[in-house]
Every structure is written in structure tokens, then in C-alpha cells.
Amino acid sequence: MTNLQLWTYAVVGATFCIYIFIAIKARATTTGEFYVAGKGVHPVLNGMATGADWMSAASFISMAGLIAFKGFDASVYLMGWTGGYCLLAMLLAPYLRKYGKFTVPEFIGDRFYSQTARVVAVICLIVASLTYVIGQMKGIGVAFSRFLEIPFETGLFIGMGIVFIYAVLGGMKGVTYTQIAQYVVLIFAYTVPAIFISLQLTGNPIPQLGLGSTMSGSDVYLLDKLDLVLTDLGFAAYTAQKGSTLNMFLLTMSLMIGTAGLPHVITRFFTVPKVRDARSSAGWALVFIAVLYTTAPAVGAMARLNLIDTIQADSIAPDTSQNLKIDNLPAWFTNWEKTGLLKYEDKNGDGRLQYVGAKYGDTTVQNEMTKVDRDIMVLANPEIARLPNWVIALVAAGGIAAALSTAAGLLLAISSAISHDIVKGIIAKDIDDKTELMAGRIAMAGAIVVAGYLGLNPPGFAAQVVALAFGLAASSIFPALMMGIFVKRMNNAGAVCGMLAGLGSTLVYIFMYKGWFFVKSTAMMADTPEGWIMGISPGAFGAVGALINFAVALSVCAVTKAPPEHIQHLVEDIRVPMGAGTAVDH
């Protein structure tokens, strides 16, 4: 076993011991503890747990890679996945906390006095959460197979086993306290390599400042250097806008609204003791998220620069005599090549690699890096920068923590919807607390098995459906919740029609480009910027779907009967903090 593997086993093993220890300490004994951790979580701690809940394998592993290759255009993810917290804090979280029940569909069902509305919400929740979970399972498997060199399946089973222990035993209570530990692990794992690399390149230990600094030993700014190197090599300039402004605008809006509408995030704000805690807790959540989200642009830019530097020793090189030699590749290069995420081809047979973009001036020079998967940027970054082995081991543990914490939050949202909204709410209304708790545990175990199965046999459309998760949350759940609070006259007919119209239009738009039910051959239009109506990508349509939802709901509501008196009182009641249910002691 190599030194790196020893380190990885030690660090990952230690974090697993912590998670299991917490699981045993934080068992749930009532449904209140299982669904909302007894509403006794301190707002700062809830913020931390929300951070881990929210930041998934995609945030940890993929986002910096996206930024590295898209530059300015990737800003939509940075703003979209953080700006949603403003909407959550100001428009939803405090009011839903005041309402004081267990699940998002429950609020929708009660507020719109309609089982149909509740069932539509449950379906949206399950589809959105399940598609999300597949990605987490894949992330766990990749991290295990690459760093511990055990098979993908074994890695996935270990990950499932860990989640099983603390989520089934502890429910929301167990998930909350493990998420807090997982936040600490993942943020440490993300920032330590970033600090090292920022120091190496700019001499400034704070990555957020390093990105705006000059390169060590020169007076050229890092971003200017990157722009220059990229354009010289025939790539688009890093800081320049490439996509259309309308699409960037709508995609950012869709991600923001979708973030605020994702049930597993909203539920986290049901766990704090008071309404005012829900407001501040959203702020704390964003503080903890911002630590990673403001570091990511630095990681992306610096990783891109380091990658080019490693391959193209002399940045502009029709003369390739300084480039990376194929019989002298660094270890990380060959390791990632084995995973198929990195590929090269020595097209001109000179025994060296060259890395150029599509717009390179000399057309006889061909790009020989045939595949550089953006997902490897964060995971390979410490190796590219030749950081010590313990840092690389830490990154593996961080990636696993990010995937596990999000998976647990999603699985909890799914199992609560099944045991509380379907079993207790519709099928068997008179079951007691103990039976419902058991139903919750069984639903959780079932959800883990289904997610594991989908992780092992990912449907071909797995990558496509992430757009679907945000589209669903943005076009159906967010508008329904918002109007339920802010439009007192909103009635059942308006809400249900609005949800179905928003959901339907978004689904149709996505299916038109991705194929009906994701069967590729049935796609009706080319999924390219030229084929998109007005340049709006399928992922950006959620904002339009939300608009349709609002418009339809308000129109239908205007011509149908106002909601009954007790519903209007309910709305007045959730608008004031006074009288919120108190915390259950921990």
C-alpha cells in the first residue's frame, strides 16, 4: 500500500468513526425528533448543517471544474446557488417555521385545503430528490474507487451502510448532527488545498484575495495572465462572456428560485426553536456556504492555469520541445487516465503533448488532450500542484462528506413525504406516533435501497435530470409556497392549476430538447444554443415555468371562490411570529 493510500484510509476511516459515534448518541425516539429534530437545533448549528445538506458532490467536486472551463459564464452557478437563500430567508423560511408542521407537502395540502395539491407536491418532491440522490451516490463511488482503489460497487455499499446507520436510527436528529461534522470535514478539505495553491501562485494565503493578486515574482495579475495564456492557445478568454445574456439571466433566476424551492433545504428550517431563528439561520447557512462558494472561483482559475502549465511548459508553443513528455507523465496523469476521465493522443507523433483550443491560429497544430473531464479538476488539483499526501487524503474525505450529507438530507425528505404525507396523511390517518416512527424508518431504509440501486445502475439520463430537479422546484413548489403566504385570497383551484401549468410547461420544454421521458431519439429540437427558443436552455426554463405558474394561479383564483374563513385566519396567523410552537428539549 502506498503512503497516499495509508493516509486516505486513515482520514476517511476517522471521519466515518465520528459519523457513527454521532449516530449512536443522537437516536430519535419520537416522530418530532425523526422529522424535525424536535425543533431544538441552534440557528448557527442549523446553518452549518444546512451548508452540508446543500453543498453536494456537485458543489464540492464539479463546480470549480465548471468554473475552470467556463470562466465568467459559470458565475450563474455561483450566484444562482447562493442568491436563493435570500428568497428562502425573506419569503419562505420564517413563515413555514411558524406554521410548525413536519413536511413541505403538508403545508401545501393544509393551506390549499386539498389532497390533490398535497399529492402533486409529494410527486414533485420525490422526483426532484431522487434524481438528486443518484448524483450523490455516483460521487461516493468515484471518490472511493479513485482514492482507495476499491471497486466502485464496494465504495457505494460502504457509503450506503454509513447513511443507513445514522439516518434510520437518528432521522433528522441524527442527520443534523452528522451534517455539522461533515460540514467541518468538507470545508477544511476544500480550503486547505486552495490556500496552499494560492500561496504557491500568488504568495497570498487567502484564495479570494489571491485570485485578484499578481503572480508570485511578477507584476502581472493572475486573471490577466490566464486570459492571455488562454487566448494565445486559442481558447476563449476566461473573464469574457460567451453565452447569451438572456440565458444567463434566466438560468441564474431558475437556480435561485429552485434553490429556495427544494424541499430538503426548506425542511432544515423547521428544526430551529423560533421564527426569528429561521431568519438568522438562513444567514448563517449562507455564511458557511459562501466560504466554499467564494473559494471555488479561485480554485477554478488556479487549477486551469496549473493544468496548462503542466502540459504546455512554454505557454505559446508551435515549437513543442518544452511540452510535457509522454514517457515522463506525472503519477496523477496516469492515475486519472485509468479512470477514463483524462485522455490524450499523440497526433503528430513527437512524443510530447500539446494543449490548444479550437481557435488556435496555426491550424496544423492539433489539440492532443482529447478529454479533460471537468470533474477531475478539484480532485486532481492537489496532485497537479504537488501538495503533500495528507492534503490529497483530506480532499477524498471531503468529497465523501459532501456526497453523504446531501444524500442523507434528500433521503430524509423522501422518507418523510412517504411516511408522513402518504401513509399518515392519506392511507392510515389514525396510526399512533410509534407506528408512524416505524413507518418513517422503513421508508428511509427503502429509499436508501432504491437510491443505491439507481446509483449502481444509473439511468442514461442521470446527468440530464439535474436540470429537472431545479426546474420542478422552481416552477411548482416555490410559487405555490410563496403565494400560500403572500396572497391571502389564493385558493385551492388557483394553486393546483398554477402548479400543474408551471410543472407541465417546464416538463414539455425540457422533453422537447432532451427527448420525451428522456428517450433521446424522441427529442424534437437540437439541444444547442441555436436550437433553443430565444436562446433559452432547458435548464433555464424553470424561471419561465414559475412565471407561468404565478400567472395561471392568479387568473384562476380571481374568477373562483375565495378560500374558507379558517384558511384566511391560518394565513394571518403564519404572518406573525408570536405563538410559534416551542422546542422539544434535546
Instruction: State which residue, 72 or 390, has the beta carbon closest to another protein.
Output: 72
Task: Work out which of 167, 222, 257, 378 binds another protein, going by CB under 8 A.
Answer: 222
Of 275, 263, 58, nearest to 172 (Cα)? 263
Q: Which stretch binds another protein (CB under 8 A): 218-226, 364-372, 437-445, 468-476?
A: 218-226
Q: Which stretch binds another protein (CB under 8 A): 216-224, 264-272, 383-391, 409-417?
A: 216-224
- By the rule CB under 8 A, 435 interacts with another protein: no
Of 390, 14, 51, nearest to 192 (Cα)? 390
Task: Establish how many alpha carbons lie within 13 A of residue 98's alpha carbon, considering only the half-sphere containing its beta carbon.
Answer: 19
Task: Work out which of 13, 151, 205, 212 binds another protein, going by CB under 8 A.
Answer: 212
Instruction: State which residue, 11 or 286, has the beta carbon closest to another protein.
Output: 286
CB 579 → another protein: shortest distance, Å?
8
* DSSP designation for 523: -
Q: Which stretch binds another protein (CB under 8 A): 142-150, 207-215, 349-357, 500-508?
A: 207-215
Number of residues that bind another protein (CB under 8 A): 50
Report in angstroms the alpha-carbon separations of 445 from 135, 164, 452: 19, 7, 11
H/E element holding 372?
Answer: strand 371-372
Task: Work out which of 117, 143, 180, 223 binds another protein, going by CB under 8 A.
Answer: 223
Instruction: State which residue, 84 or 471, has the beta carbon closest to another protein.
Output: 84
Q: State how far the Cα of 480 lies from the Cα of 474, in Å rounded to an integer.
A: 10
Task: Work out which of 454, 577, 583, 584 binds another protein, going by CB under 8 A.
Answer: 577
Phi first, then psi, for residue 372 (nearest 5°) are -125, 95
Instruction: State which residue, 81 or 333, has the beta carbon closest to another protein.
Output: 81
Instruction: Centre a 10 Å sphere on the Cβ of residue 188 and count the other Cβ atoms it contains.
Output: 13
Instruction: State which residue, 85 or 177, has the beta carbon closest to another protein.
Output: 85
188 three-class SS? helix
**3-class SS string, 59-85:** HHHHHHHHHHHHHHHHHHHHHHHHHHH
- By the rule CB under 8 A, 518 interacts with another protein: no
Of 542, 584, 262, 283, nearest to 409 (Cα)? 262
CB 93 within 8 A of CB 270: no
Site for another protein in 453-492 (CB under 8 A): none
Site for another protein in 69-128 (CB under 8 A): 72, 75, 78-79, 82-83, 85-86, 89-91, 94
DSSP-assigned beta bridge partners for residue 371: 343
Q: Which stretch binds another protein (CB under 8 A): 5-13, 54-62, 228-236, 245-253?
A: 245-253
- By the rule CB under 8 A, 213 interacts with another protein: yes
Site for another protein in 267-296 (CB under 8 A): 274-276, 279-280, 282-283, 286-287, 290, 293-294
Instruction: State which residue, 4 or 260, has the beta carbon closest to another protein.
Output: 260
Instruction: State which residue, 90 or 519, has the beta carbon closest to another protein.
Output: 90
- By the rule CB under 8 A, 534 interacts with another protein: no
Instruction: Centre a 10 Å sphere on the Cβ of residue 235 and count the other Cβ atoms it contains.
Output: 22
Instruction: Centre a 10 Å sphere on the Cβ of residue 458 and count the other Cβ atoms it contains.
Output: 15
Can you say whether residue 214 is alpha, beta or left, with left for phi > 0 and alpha for psi between -120 and 50 degrees? beta
- By the rule CB under 8 A, 214 interacts with another protein: yes
List, in sequence order, the alpha helices (H) in 207-270. 207-210, 222-232, 245-261, 263-268
List, in sequence order, the alpha helices (H) in 88-151. 93-99, 104-111, 115-147
CB 302 → another protein: shortest distance, Å?
12
| Amino acid occupying residue 109 | G
- By the rule CB under 8 A, 244 interacts with another protein: no
Instruction: State which residue, 46 or 367, has the beta carbon closest to another protein.
Output: 46
Q: State how far the Cα of 109 lies from the Cα of 282, in Å rounded to an integer.
A: 25
What x-and-dash track marks residues 247-266 binding another protein by CB under 8 A? -xx--xx-------------
Q: State how far the Cα of 187 lies from the Cα of 12, in Å rounded to an integer.
A: 15
CB 87 → another protein: shortest distance, Å?
8
Phi first, then psi, for residue 385 (nearest 5°) are -85, 5
Contact set with another protein (CB under 8 A): 67, 72, 75, 78-79, 82-83, 85-86, 89-91, 94, 208-209, 211-214, 221-224, 239, 241, 245, 248-249, 252-253, 274-276, 279-280, 282-283, 286-287, 290, 293-294, 297, 572, 575-580
